[in-house]
């Protein structure tokens, strides 16, 4: 299977993860004008499963390092398979709550609260499990990224200060999503052998772990998303027949969104070998600021921000970049 050889490459892979995780939501934004998020989500999950399988049959089956994809799946023990599968269930519950929170309260509440909380919890949990990197630099970096997220939220509040307060339901959904999102990665990491060149019997390779993880997402979606279609947080209930009324391009947009997210997840897991789970996860969850870049420069979400508040955006991006730098350097110190 393909493995990375250096920490520098691991950082590059983690940065690609950040770009993917911060960009996939653009596909939902493109489809949202005529397509409910519950319908979009079926295709999104399908995209995750398809790309994880493609990666397993290609990158996970090439070269002489580690263990090839199919033999690795077959030899996986029950504990490892269930751990990766359970990670998929936890992620799916968190992500559906996050997407619902975005639909109800917008990015102002959902991303800063949900993903910000997930970053803090995730780095702490993964560092305690695999303490790789200078703890002081790592957590100062996390604190700066968290500060950047708070500045992001403040800028959004300034943008919408003339509007009524955000619904309590959206805030609660964001908090629940963030708590769950902070724990899913640990279960996927626990299912793998972290030295990818030295396979451990019963443990999974990164490619097998991500594929089993995607199956957890896929099968749990029949429960979570079916329930939301019948009892939506917002809007009228949906029938399954509504899914088949979407155009080919609409379905393709959702599959693309899931594929982009899965590329980020796969690269993050591959990077965990040289960077450690805490660092690769922490860099990936910097995706909140990538989403802010999209919002500021592409979707022009801050075009009505009062000029006196522009400094919030500059400070936000500065904290973000310095924080990422410290997270990267924490492995080298």
Q: Span 36-61, mean pLDDT? A: 96
Whole-model pTM: value is 0.90
> Which pair of structure tokens corresponds to residue 82?
């269930």
| 165: pLDDT strictly greater than 60 | no
Sign of CA dihedral 119, 121, 124, 127: negative
For residue range 87-110, what is the model confidence (pLDDT) as tens digits? 999 999 999 998 888 777 766 667
Rounded to the nearest 10 degrees, what angle do helices 168-190 and 277-284 cross at?
A: 150
Return the DSSP state at 114.
Answer: I
Alpha carbon separation from 147 to 57, 150, 268, 323, 332 (Å, rounded): 41, 5, 23, 9, 23
Cβ–Cβ under 8 Å, residues 232 and 108 = no
| 33: pLDDT strictly greater than 80 | no
Residue 69 phi/psi, 5-degree rounding, is -55, -60
Return the DSSP state at 35.
Answer: S
Residue 64 phi/psi, 5-degree rounding, is -110, -5
What is the average pLDDT value for the chain, to the nearest integer?
Answer: 89
Name the region of 201 (left: φ>0; alpha: ψ -120 to 50; beta: rest): beta
Give 162's pLDDT tier (boundaries 50, 70, 90): very low
For residue range 79-89, what is the model confidence (pLDDT) as tens digits? 999 999 999 99
Give 160's pLDDT tier (boundaries 50, 70, 90): low
Cβ–Cβ under 8 Å, residues 122 and 276 = no
Rounded to the nearest 10 degrees, what angle do helices 206-230 and 37-57 cross at?
A: 170
- CB burial of 77-108 (b: ≥16 within 10 Å; e: otherwise) equals eeebbebbbbbbbbbbbbbbbbbbbbbbbebb
Give 194's pLDDT tier (boundaries 50, 70, 90): confident
Q: Span 272-300, mean pLDDT? A: 84
Q: Span 65-83, mean pLDDT? A: 96
Q: Tell me how crowded residue 14 is: count the other CB atoms within 10 A of its CB.
A: 28
* Domain ranges across the chain: 13-329
Residue 69 has what pLDDT?
97
Give 203's pLDDT tier (boundaries 50, 70, 90): very high
| 167: pLDDT strictly greater than 70 | no
Cβ–Cβ under 8 Å, residues 316 and 292 = yes
Residue 161 has what pLDDT?
59
């Amino acid at each position: 299977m393909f493995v990375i050889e250096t920490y520098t490459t691991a950082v590059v892979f983690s940065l690609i993860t950040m770009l993917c995780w911060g960009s996939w939501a653009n596909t939902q934004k493109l489809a949202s004008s005529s397509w409910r998020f519950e319908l979009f989500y079926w295709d999104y999950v399908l995209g995750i499963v398809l790309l994880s399988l493609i990666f397993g049959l290609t990158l996970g089956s090439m070269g002489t390092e580690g263990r090839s994809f199919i033999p690795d799946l077959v030899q996986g023990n029950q504990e490892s398979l269930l751990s990766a599968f359970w990670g998929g269930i936890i992620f799916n519950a968190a992500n559906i709550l996050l997407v619902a929170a975005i639909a109800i309260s917008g990015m102002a509440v959902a991303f800063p609260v949900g993903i910000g909380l997930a970053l803090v919890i995730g780095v702490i949990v993964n560092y305690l499990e695999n303490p790789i990197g200078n703890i002081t630099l790592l957590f100062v970096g996390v604190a700066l990224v968290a500060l950047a997220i708070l500045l992001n939220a403040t800028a959004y509040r300034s943008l919408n200060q003339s509007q009524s307060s955000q619904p309590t339901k959206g805030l609660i959904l964001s908090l629940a999503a963030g708590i769950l999102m902070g724990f899913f990665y640990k279960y996927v990491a626990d299912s793998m052998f972290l030295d990818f060149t030295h396979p451990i019997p019963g443990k999974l390779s990164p490619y097998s772990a991500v594929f089993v993880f995607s199956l957890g997402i896929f099968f749990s979606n029949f429960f979570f998303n079916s329930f939301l279609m019948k009892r939506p947080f917002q809007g009228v209930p949906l029938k399954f027949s509504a899914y088949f009324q979407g155009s080919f391009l609409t379905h393709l947009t959702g599959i693309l969104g899931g594929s982009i997210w899965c590329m980020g997840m796969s690269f993050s897991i591959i990077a965990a070998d040289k960077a450690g789970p805490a660092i690769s996860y922490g860099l990936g969850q910097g995706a909140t600021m990538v989403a802010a870049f999209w919002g500021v420069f592409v979707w022009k979400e801050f075009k009505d921000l009062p000029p006196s508040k522009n400094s919030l955006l500059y400070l936000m991006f500065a904290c973000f970049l310095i924080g990422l730098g410290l997270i990267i350097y924490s492995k080298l110190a």
